[in-house]
Amino acid sequence: MSAQSHVPQARRRLLGAGLVLAGLVGPPQASLAQQPTPQTLLSQESIGWQSDVEGMRHFSGLRCPDQVGRFYRTKVLASDGDRMAACIYSGDGGMSAILRQHLSGTGEKVARHYLENFQAAGFERVALSGPASTGISFKTRDWTSPVLCETLWYFAGQKADYTLWLSYGLPVQEAEVGPALDAFVRLLNQMG
């Protein structure tokens, strides 16, 4: 197949990823990287977030530190139909993470929904080794180097379920997946 015949399929996949990720990320909120304004603080408070020592805490109990491992929090998100709260983190080299809190007992359903949506968008599910092997992984951009991969893990907590979505480039960031996953799991273990 020629490179030209890959372009339309690549654009469809990119559009599909955008639609799928729009569901994961939710509506845009005030960026924490900006200087806080009364409107920004009011917005964060109105969606259930309060400043905490070195982070933010949602009324649901989710705590999002400013830094988790080598990731820095860039946004907090409000509740929606399937999440109680969420935080977006950025890491080295364009890695991204979204930590989401869900109602207790719904994490597996959320992960299944993720799997179905990515398959429906035409992404290739991949079986990876190491820490990524315990999650649900897809190649979402295989026409560039590095290949973009996205993995979702779900966790059952005592009072809530959680999902962690991680986007990274293969093979260059493969060694960073384990430390990233470990850092977020340590955070979840602290919350109980």
Contact 75, 85 (CB under 8 A): no
In angstroms, the CA 164 to CA 120 distance is 21
Amino acid at 173: Q
Closest CA to 24 of 140, 126, 130: 140
What angle, 0 to 180 degrees and rounded to 10, lies between the N-to-C axes of helices 107-120 and 3-25?
150
Instruction: Please tell me the CATH code under which domain 3-191 is placed.
Output: 3.40.1000
Residue with the bigger pLDDT between 145 and 30: it is: 145
In this structure, the chain runs to a length of 192
Q: What is the mean pLDDT of residues 134-144?
A: 91
Strand partners, 154: 163
Does residue 41 surpass a pLDDT of 60?
A: no
Amino acid at 106: T
Q: What is the mean pLDDT of residues 137-156?
A: 91
The fraction of the chain above a pLDDT of 90, given in percent, is 54
Sequence spans of domains, the chain? 3-191
For residue range 61-111, list pLDDT tens digits in order: 889 999 999 999 999 888 777 778 999 999 999 999 999 999 999 999 999
For residue range 166-177, list pLDDT tens digits in order: 999 999 999 999
Residue with the bigger pLDDT between 43 and 2: it is: 43
In angstroms, the CA 135 to CA 152 distance is 5
Evaluate if pTM is beyond 0.95.
no
For residue range 55-70, list pLDDT tens digits in order: 888 888 889 999 999 9
